[in-house]
Amino acid sequence: MQVQLGLMNKYEMTMAALDDGKDAEMKVFGNSMMPLIKTNSVVTYRRTEDYGVGDVVLAKVKGNYLTHKIAKIDSKGRYLIANNKGYENGWVKMILGRVVAVEGEPFGRPTATIDADVGTGSGT
């Protein structure tokens, strides 16, 4: 099913860009990632080949889209998502994208993009 761009929310637009193999920008709100990311910052996400502990990523946890850190990775390939203050939000099987820039400035470790049809994992 195709969704008209004018009817998409910011998360759907971000996911559509990432699914097309493009970087995606979105304004984030809240203080849970301070001082790394301030509220009202525009962050750039990129789908990458690998994700590691400490990466700041976009993930859907318990129905909520969060820009938080990967705190742990288990032997099943699941990621524990947590904020910058140590609160653990929950485990996910799929990372939607990694933060590669904040307010246009490079952020985190360098990365390469991957083909849109490769994906980053399965499940939610």
* Average pLDDT rounded to a whole number, residues 85-93: 94
Domains identified in the chain and CATH numbers: 7-106 (2.10.109.10)
The structure's pTM equals 0.81
Contact between 83 and 17 (Cβ < 8 Å): no
In the predicted model, is pLDDT for residue 7 greater than 90? no
Which whole number is the average pLDDT over 71-99?
95
Q: Where are the beta strands (DSSP E) in the chain?
A: 24-27, 42-46, 56-61, 64-73, 79-82, 88-92, 97-102, 105-106
Locate 113 and state its tokens.
């993009």
pLDDT score of 121 more than 50: no
Q: Which amino acid is at 41?
A: S
The confidence band for 8, taking pLDDT boundaries of 50, 70 and 90, is: confident
6: confidence class by pLDDT, cuts 50, 70, 90: low
